[in-house]
A and B are shown apart, each in its own frame.
Chain A
Amino acid sequence: MKKIISLTVNGVSHEVAVEPRRTLLELIREDLGLTGTKKGCGIGDCGTCTVLLDGVATFSCLTLAIQADGCTVETVESLAENGQLNRLQQAFVDQGAIQCGYCTPGMLMTTTELLRRNPHPEESEIRRAISGNLCRCTGYQKIVEAIQTATEDSDE
Chain B
Amino acid sequence: MLLPRFDVLVPETIDDACAMLADYADDGVRILAGGTDLLVDLRRPIIPQHVPRCDGCPTHPEGQIATTIECEPSKSDPLMSPEGSIRTKLADPKSAAPAFLVSLHKIDQLKGIELLPSGGLRIGALTTISEIERSSEIRKDWTALAHGADSLGSPLVRNRGTLGGNIANARPAADTVIPTIALGGKLTLQSSSDTRTVAAGDFPTGPGLSVLKPGEIVTDIHLPTPSPHSGSAYYKMANRKALEISTVGVAVWMVLEKPGGPIKDVRVALGAVGPTPILAKSVGKVLIGKVPTDEILVQAAKAAAGDARPIDDHRGSAWYRVQMVEQLTLRLLKSVLSGIENDR
Contacts and interface: CB of A to CB of B under 8 A. Distances in A.
A21 B6 contact: yes
Interface in B295-341: none
Contact of B157 (A20, A21, A64, A132): A132
B214 interface: no
B241 interface: yes
B52 to A, nearest CB: 19
A4 interface: no
- The range of chain A's interface size is 20 to 34
A104 interface: no
Contact of A45 (B2, B103, B241, B243): B243
Interface string A127-142: 0111111000000000
B159 A131 contact: no
B242 A132 contact: yes
A62 B2 CA distance: 11
Contacts of B241: 131
Contacts of B5: 19, 21
Contacts of A47: 154, 156
Interface stretch (A50-58, A72-80, A84-92, A147-155): A50-58
Contacts of B130: 56
A63 B35 contact: yes
A134 B250 CA distance: 28
B72 to A, nearest CB: 24
B43 A3 contact: no
Given A44-B40, A47-B154, A131-B155, A62 B242 contact: no
Contacts of B36: 44, 62
B7 A132 contact: no
Contacts of A131: 154-155, 241-243
Nearest to B35: A62
A63 B3 CA distance: 11
B115 interface: no
A102 interface: no
B159 A56 contact: yes
Given A21-B2, A64-B35, A128 B103 contact: no
B156 A20 contact: no
A54 to B, nearest CB: 11
B156 A132 contact: yes
Contacts of A64: 8, 32, 35, 39, 103
Contacts of B155: 57, 110, 128-132
Interface string B153-166: 11111011000000
Given A21-B3, A21-B4, A43-B40, A66 B159 contact: no
Nearest to A70: B106
B150 to A, nearest CB: 9
9 contacts: A42-B1, A44-B40, A47-B156, A58-B156, A58-B159, A66-B10, A67-B35, A131-B241, A132-B242
Interface of A: 1, 3, 19-21, 23, 26, 42-45, 47, 50, 56-59, 62-64, 66-67, 69, 110, 128-133
Given A131-B243, A132-B154, 6 more contacts: A21-B4, A21-B5, A57-B155, A62-B34, A63-B160, A64-B35
Interface of B: 1-8, 10, 32, 34-36, 39-40, 43, 101, 103, 105, 130, 153-157, 159-160, 241-243
